[in-house]
Amino acid sequence: MLKSISAPLIVLLLTSWTLAAEPNKYLKQAHEVTEHINDTFFDPASGVYRKYADKPKLDYVWLQSVAFANLVAAARNEPEVYGPQLEKYFTALDGYWDDKVEIPGYEAAPTQGNGSDKYYDDNAWMAITLIEAYETNEKPAYLKRADETLDFVLSGWDDEIGGGIWWHQNHKDGTKNTCANGPSAVACLQLAKFQKEDSAELVDWAKKIVDWTCNALQDDDGLFDDRVVVKTGEIKRGKLTYNTALIIRAQLGLYRATGDEKYLEQAKRLGKASDWFLDAQTGVYRDALRYAHFMVEADLELYRTTKEPYLLDRARRNVDAWYQDWNADKPNDMMTNACLGRALWLMGEAESEQGQAFWNHSDELGMKE
């Protein structure tokens, strides 16, 4: 009987049977990974996470932002277990917050407020997560800090080479990067859902940022190169999943905020183009997990809008492969573990009524009235 069924259909049938046999599989795996992170990397003295399991050095704020995003999702699904930890962690992240400068922001490493060079992309990631934290528990402190953080991010825009947000505050690298502009646009659109008096301005910011990034850094295949050297105009090639992923999310946010179908069409185009990132043999993203997990998040967000099955299948295939690898050999760095935990929570929410309700409501908040 099975000989007459195609191989892809067999895989689909087996996957469906496995899901039916393992209800809440991804949420259980997410809990397992998150507990491992807490047991292995948490530093009680600082309240944040160490970079490596066997070294005392605290991790940088960008990597802490992924741990923060993992805890936000964990607290949404298991509030009694992770809600108190999320609150303490948010407070502990003040150790990176420099409020002794004209425009406060998060520094890369723990600070005494000495005005060190800050990364605009670090702060954009933090802003996105702070807004999601506010959506999760409605505590005003999260929204206030998100607003402050985004003020810093947008201060990184200037009109040199036609616009764009710098990577470093002090322009140390001399570049404007997709990784700074993509998440900045997403943060603007996320905050616009809750800052109604400023929503039009924030949507305009997102349009401006996305337009500049597409003009400056989008290749002919639709995917995004890494950065442009401002002084020379040289494009630094190299396509990473997280760059395209954040533009997909920004295009979706603009579609919801404006109702303009062109943004949805661009997001769909980028979704299809992102097959380029897949390994031909395994169907898993070639990038390191620190980049690729952002594409799973974009796949799930695009799936909520288009309901195209390939997006859910692609996300599930990646998350299953990542968990299998983790179970066989747990990584020694905090961020890889946190990226997996975050992806598992999101995959679980994509299959649970509670999770679907949260994300559908989040999307609806961003829709044009």
- Dump strand ranges (E) for 107-213: 175-177
pLDDT class for 1, splitting at 50, 70, 90?
very low
pLDDT in tens, 165-219: 999 999 989 999 999 999 999 999 999 999 988 999 999 999 999 999 999 999 9
- Say yes or no to pLDDT of 348 above 50: yes
* Rounded average pLDDT over 59-80: 98
Q: What is the model's pLDDT at position 117?
A: 85
pLDDT in tens, 35-60: 999 999 999 999 999 999 999 999 99
Residue 184: both structure tokens together:
């900045």
Contact in structure between 303 and 315 (CB atoms under 8 Å): yes
Contact in structure between 310 and 263 (CB atoms under 8 Å): no
Q: What is the model's pLDDT at position 115?
A: 81
Look up residue 78 and give its amino acid.
E
Report the chain's mean pLDDT, rounded to a whole number: 94
Q: What is the model's pLDDT at position 213?
A: 98
12-365 has which fold?
A: Glycosyltransferase (1.50.10)
- Pick the residue with more confidence: 21 or 265? 265
- Say yes or no to pLDDT of 162 above 90: yes
Q: How far apart are CA 181 and CA 366, in angstroms?
A: 19
Please report, in angstroms and rounded to a whole number, the separation of the first and last CA atoms in the chain.
54
pLDDT in tens, 118-146: 999 999 999 999 999 999 999 999 999 99
Look up residue 354 and give its amino acid.
Q
- Rounded (10°) angle between helices 120-137 and 178-192: 30
| Cβ neighbours of 282 (radius 10 Å) | 11
Q: What is the model's pLDDT at position 167?
A: 97
- Say yes or no to pLDDT of 18 above 80: no
